[in-house]
Homo-oligomer: A and B are copies of this chain.
Amino acid sequence: MIQRLAIVGVGLLGGSAAKAARAERLAREIVGVGRDAGRLQPALREGVLDRATTDLEAGVREADFVLLAAPVLAIEGLLGRVWRAAPDGAIVTDVGSTKGGIVRAAERLAAARPLAFVGSHPMAGSEQSGYAVARADLFRGATVIVTPTDRTEPRAAKAVTGLWEALGARVRALDPESHDRIVAAISHVPHAVVSALVDAVARREPEALEFAARGFRDTTRIAASDPDVWTEIFVANRAAVLASLGRFRGALDELERLIAAGVPEPLRAALERARAAREGLR
Contacts and interface: CB of A to CB of B under 8 A. Distances in A.
Nearest to A123: B213
Interface in A254-282: 254-256, 259-260, 262, 264, 267-275, 277-282
Contacts of A191: 215
A196 B227 contact: no
A230 interface: yes
Interface bin, chain A: 35 or more
A275 B217 CA distance: 12
A74 interface: no
Interface string A186-197: 110111111111
Contacts of A213: 123-124, 142-143, 186-187
Q: By CB atoms of chain B within 10 A, which of A234, A254, A270 has the most?
A: A234
B197 A267 contact: no
A47 interface: no
B228 A242 contact: no
Contacts of A280: 202, 209
13 contacts: A143-B213, A185-B200, A189-B197, A192-B255, A196-B251, A196-B254, A198-B277, A199-B274, A205-B244, A205-B247, A226-B275, A227-B268, A238-B262
